[in-house]
Amino acid sequence: MTVNLLGLGSRQLEGFCAEMGEKPYRARQLLRWIHHAGVDDFEMMTDVSKALRERLKECATIAAPKVLRDTAAADGTRKWLLDVGTGNAIEAVFIPETSRGTLCISSQAGCALACPFCSTGRQGFNRNLAVEEIIGQLWYANRCLGRGPVTERPISNVVMMGMGEPLANFDNVVAAIELMLDDSAYGLSRRRVTLSTSGLVPAIDRLREACPVALAVSLHAPDDKLRDQLVPINRKYPIKDLLAACLRYIEKAPRDFVTFEYVMLAGVNDSVMQARQLARLLKPVPCKINLIPFNPFPNSGYTCSDPETIGRFRDVLMQAGYITTVRKTRGEDIAAACGQLAGQVQDKTRRRQRRAHDSSVSAVPLTEAAQ
């Protein structure tokens, strides 16, 4: 059986090397070649002996998910559609800005938490991504964007805001984050890796102990009644418990604040009264607020608040003393904005699979559906 080395952290690579009768320092060499240099060919590992390279070729591989589509938007946003098997596709999106380059990555194929305004939530849950599939998005994007010396890496920040709920795939997500932070791999600082969660309270506590990074929390409503609808996991972990977990998290976090995300849904959560309610609610928690204009998708049943309403909402929060930003929508022409990820492909695949099933012929593979 071949081992995919892309998903192994430093300790596991040490174990792998020990099994092969190799010294522990080999693990660090492998880590550097794979993640720092972005190499997938053992022949290129010039400081590894020829004999070991031959053995590695026999028992190991370095493989990221296959790219089905690579699209560039007019504003420089780049989107990769990646095949994770059995008709599932995920997406990674690179967003260049003047002072940083952010890669948005996925943690699950689909999502079980069923927030009604989210196209991933509407697709349902398919499966957790493996470590190599999560880190593979960063590995691949770095290779794709980073022509030239490693020091010119364009990805300075990673946000786990793609498909899926990262804290519902806890172990694999933490293992992938550890690789992001490892100096021999990507060497990102904890402040530059952000995990976005819909609010799995016990897992927020676990993350604080295991691997604290910057935290974004999808709040989206100023009271439990509305949040129960918009973020159904709120019925299990209501706002009071969530805010208490945020306070506990900040004690150990690399940043001394939490970012609250708030999607702007016309006539649902965007009134001045709701802005005031939100300002009162968040008083005890050091935080910033990020308002996200809703990205529409077919049959969502929601529309985005108009710019004036978003402006008024922001002004109320700013006057109450909150640093409040309105997220710029990026990559709209390639459907790379939040909540649009891979939805179209999944929908198309499902439709075609249904059609294929109805007429008793085999399902159309995703690769074709994605063309």
Task: Please give the positions annotated as active site.
Answer: 91, 338
Residue 305 DSSP code:
P
Query: Applying CB under 6 A, does 16 fall inside the site for ligand SAH?
Result: no
The span from the CA of 216 to the CA of 290, in Å, is 9
Question: Which phi-psi region, left, alpha or beta, contains residue 106 (left: φ > 0; alpha: ψ -120 to 50)?
Answer: beta
Query: Applying CB under 6 A, does 105 fall inside the site for ligand SF4?
Result: no
DSSP characters over 79-103: EEEEE-STT-EEEEEEEE-SS-EEE
Query: Applying CB under 6 A, does 292 fall inside the site for ligand SAH?
Result: yes
Closer residue to ligand SAH, CB minimum distance, 249 or 294: 294
Query: Applying CB under 6 A, does 123 fall inside the site for ligand SF4?
Result: no
Chosen residue from 22, 83, 132, 165 binding ligand SF4 by CB under 6 A: 165
The span from the CA of 280 to the CA of 320, in Å, is 9
Query: Applying CB under 6 A, does 89 fall inside the site for ligand SAH?
Result: no
Distance of closest approach, residue 264 Cβ to ligand SF4, in angstroms:
14
DSSP characters over 329-346: P--GGGT-STT-TTHHHH
- Hey, how many other C-beta atoms are within 10 angstroms of the C-beta on 6? 24
Query: Applying CB under 6 A, does 331 fall inside the site for ligand SAH?
Result: no
Query: Applying CB under 6 A, does 261 fall inside the site for ligand SF4?
Result: no
Contacts of 95 (CB under 8 A, 6+ apart): 76, 77, 101, 102, 103, 104, 330, 331
Chosen residue from 339, 342, 343, 369 binding ligand SAH by CB under 6 A: 339
- The single residue listed with the structure tokens 């007429």 is 359
Q: Which residue is nearest to ligand SAH (CB)?
A: 339
The span from the CA of 71 to the CA of 159, in Å, is 19
Closer residue to ligand SF4, CB minimum distance, 111 or 275: 111
Query: Applying CB under 6 A, does 165 fall inside the site for ligand SAH?
Result: yes
Q: Which residues bind to ligand SF4, rule: CB under 6 A?
A: 111, 113-115, 118, 120-121, 164-165, 198, 218
Q: Which residues bind to ligand SAH, rule: CB under 6 A?
A: 115, 117-119, 161, 165, 196-198, 218, 261, 263, 292, 294-295, 338-339
